[in-house]
Amino acid sequence: MTVNGKRKVFSGVQPTGNMHIGTYLGAFRNWVKLQHEYEAIYCVVDLHALTVPVDPAELHRNRIEAVKVLLAVGIDPDKSLVYMQSQVPQHAELAWILGTMTPTGVLNRMTQFKEKSARAGANLGLYSYPVLMAADILLHRADLVPVGDDQRQHLEMTRDVAERFNNRYGEVFPLPEALIPETAARVMSLTDPRAKMSKSDPNPRSAILMLDTADDIRKKIKGAVTDSEPTVAHDWDAKPGISNLLELMSAATGRPVDALVGEYAATGYGVFKEAVAEAVIELAAPIKARYGGLDDKEVAVLLEKGADDARSSAERHQAEVRAAVGLDGV
């Protein structure tokens, strides 16, 4: 959908604390870039965060922290609309309507649901999580959705439900496209390079947090699980740990993986890991510095305005959906 000649970008992040470098490289970095070319809307999806048990005081804190991280990575509130999902009730309303046209067979196939329910047990919110995500995107008629690789399946489902809606009720939703980076779209855990780096991993050494100190970063990368064969090479099957570090360094420095392999193939893992650590420190330092300078009160003011703007735009769009399905007026 084009507004004032600009296409729309939308994305969301759960306020679950422990924002890590995977979130930054997989998603936020593109959010920052796209805000210059698109009408940009970025949402802290706090209703999604309720799908696993969470302490209310912690959730409250994490919501503000998430917004501060967004500002620290370079989201500019003059360019992007930033708000909390729960402040805009149209998300939940549209999710209900889309839920009525989402086959349970489709939801049963969602990898993230299968993984999370195996770990934490299933609930209806977790099951319908992708429907609320589809509603987030379609509510704003987004064209482009910058996310990490783990969201690919949810984006495909979003397009399918949009198509189903359009076929039944007329062309209301543009079909959104996922934007997934070429390198570091799936940053892996440092302690288990066959698993995704994740906020919910209980091992603090598995993830580099965006607010880690330089020393933490050095220690974590030094201790990253690799293999016992000492040649630096990119091979996800045989050398997942080293491949992960190569992609991290490539994404942090902008240098191609091949060039890094050429430089470090014969230096041994120690020297290579030090170089990776320094590259990541350089990437994270300005973010951490900007975060430290942010004030909670200013963030609250910004969020109030964000919620107002998001609600009025969401209401305009949602009126169109209500009319399409026959829920307008009395």
Residues from 179 through 208 that contact ligand AMP (CB under 6 A): 185-187, 196-197, 199
196 binds, among ligand TRP, ligand AMP, none (CB under 5 to 8 A by kind): ligand AMP
Whether residue 116 lies in the annotated active site: yes
Residue among 110, 145, 161, 279 that touches ligand TRP (CB under 6 A): 145
Asked whether position 110 contacts ligand TRP by CB under 6 A, the answer is no
Whether residue 33 lies in the annotated active site: no
Please give the structure tokens belonging to residue 236: 């996800």
Which of 33, 79, 199, 288 is labelled catalytic?
199
How far apart CA 150 and CA 122 sit, in angstroms, is: 19
Measured at the CA of 137, the angle between CA 131 and CA 139, to 5 degrees, comes to 90
Q: What is the helix, strand, coil percentage profile of the chain, to 5?
A: 55, 10, 35
How far apart CA 166 and CA 174 sit, in angstroms, is: 9
Return the number of the residue (155 or 260) whose C-beta is nearest ligand TRP.
Answer: 155
| H-helix or E-strand spanning residue 24 | none
Asked whether position 11 contacts ligand TRP by CB under 6 A, the answer is yes
- Residue from 282, 32, 182 nearest 13 by CA: 32
Residue among 19, 82, 126, 137 that touches ligand TRP (CB under 6 A): 137
Return the number of the residue (135 or 276) whose C-beta is nearest ligand TRP.
Answer: 135
CA 267 to chain centroid: 35
- Residue from 199, 214, 221, 198 nearest 289 by CA: 214
Asked whether position 14 contacts ligand AMP by CB under 6 A, the answer is yes
Please give the structure tokens belonging to residue 225: 């699980």
Whether residue 196 lies in the annotated active site: yes
Return the number of the residue (45 or 188) whose C-beta is nearest ligand TRP.
Answer: 45
22 binds, among ligand AMP, ligand TRP, none (CB under 5 to 8 A by kind): ligand AMP
Which of 116, 220, 239, 273 is labelled catalytic?
116
Q: Are strands 6-13 and 39-44 parallel, antiparallel or unpaired?
A: parallel
Residue among 29, 48, 116, 196 that touches ligand TRP (CB under 6 A): 48
Asked whether position 13 contacts ligand AMP by CB under 6 A, the answer is yes
N-terminal to C-terminal alpha carbon distance within the chain: 29
Contacts of 188 (CB under 8 A, 6+ apart): 194, 195, 196, 197, 240, 241, 244
Contacts with ligand AMP by CB under 6 A: the residue count is 16
DSSP class of residue 89 equals T
Which of 196, 220, 239, 273 is labelled catalytic?
196
Asked whether position 226 contacts ligand TRP by CB under 6 A, the answer is no
Asked whether position 61 contacts ligand AMP by CB under 6 A, the answer is no
Residue among 30, 151, 191, 318 that touches ligand TRP (CB under 6 A): 151
CB of 88 to ligand TRP, least distance (A): 12
Asked whether position 91 contacts ligand TRP by CB under 6 A, the answer is no
CB of 26 to ligand AMP, least distance (A): 2
**Which 3-state string (H, E, C) describes 260-317?**
HHHHHCCCCHHHHHHHHHHHHHHHHHHHHHHHHCCCHHHHHHHHHHHHHHHHHHHHHH
The site for ligand TRP (CB under 6 A) is made up of: 10-12, 14, 45, 48, 133, 136-137, 145, 147, 151, 154
The site for ligand AMP (CB under 6 A) is made up of: 13-14, 22-23, 26-27, 147-148, 150-151, 185-187, 196-197, 199
